[in-house]
Amino acid sequence: MEIPYHRAAIGEEEIAEVVETLRSGWLTTGKRTRDFETAFAAYVDAEHAVAMNSCTAALHLALEACGVGEGDAVIVPTMTFAATAEVVRYLGAEPVFVDCLPDDGNLDSAGLDTAADQAQQQGRRLAAVMPVHYGGQACDMAAVHAFAEKNDGLRVIEDAAHCCPAHWREDENSAWRSVGSGSDVACFSFYANKCITTGEGGMATTDDADLAERMRIMSLHGLSKDAWKRFSSDGSPEYLILDAGYKYNLTDIASALGIHQLARADELRDRRRAVAEMYLQKLADVEEVRLPWEDENRQHAWHLFVVRLDVDALTIDRREFAGLLRERGITTSLHWRPLHMHPYYVEHCGHAAEDFPNAARLHDEMISLPLFPDMTEEQVDYVCDAIRGTVVEHLKTPASKT
């Protein structure tokens, strides 16, 4: 049996909307993108949403709009994808890394004060903190917001690439909040394997009209008007260049997908949750595989289903384990090598792996299993049987542990 790591759940409504967009003659940023932005802002309880061609673009322009610049410092978790830190470098600022929690991979808020001290010792202005919601479970945003308030209203920019839809609350007596609400900017991804997709795409949300306007202008060459405002029936063709911007706009073709994916977001999340619950039940008896969990004060998006191997109990490492699953037709992924362990940041920041021990340890243990909305119980059973068999075949004997 061949089981892909991910397969997007694209319905007939999405297909029909894309076809209609193609037939309309308006393919680039236009009415469909504006409709997608309006619907998305309402969905995550934000005042404004700005569609872009990637979450990376959204993160970049969020930092730029918040005034991050040359020589500043931005706190970034080391357990994240390349984009979170590279956008800091785009602006000539420096990422200051923070370790993750050992249980769910999210930012360890206990390390924020140390990171702030490090920035001060380097003589840098601490400009922003960028929490990442790992795998679809929101991190401790209450602690992040408290840290920001303590540091003169430090800007908070959420990397919510894994989190649509996802919610959090401070405790059982608090109201549920959508990921992205309450921060300066939140940035979402609609990449092909995300919970909702436009193929490629992203969105920045904010309650600040000035930040939204700045991001919108900078997302299209710094122009005062986009194509829709210039060439639609009630538009005007003249525009002004207000700043040296970028080419980050989202097309109406992509937004045609997004409109209907967003309408199905809760359904798609529930279907992912059902797959996750099957995994949790069927792998519960495999002691050498540690399973993800959902905090009682979180509503998980289940973008990733990340298991942790007890590598001390096995004769193979995670890469070899993933390779053996691939031989059985199962595609997995490895999320991630912590940023401080990549060659660029080793050279640029001078960190050793052990500087952030939780992230370094998780790097040796984690494998992301296939998870997608249309995954069947038969497919889940096949994956679980393959995992159980691989563990049994490569379990250390008592003698080898002495």
Give the whole-angstrom CA distance, residue 378 versus residue 90.
45
Any catalytic annotation for residue 31?
no
For the chain, the straight-line distance linking the first and the last C-alpha, in angstroms and rounded, comes to 38
- Signed CA dihedral, 164, 170, 176, 178: sign only: negative
Tokens of 370: 């296939």
Q: Which one is catalytic: 31, 150, 194, 401?
A: 194
Place of tokens 């942790």: 308
Angstrom CA distances, 163 to 89, 114, 157, 312, 391, stand at 24, 27, 14, 32, 31
Q: Which residues are catalytic?
A: 194
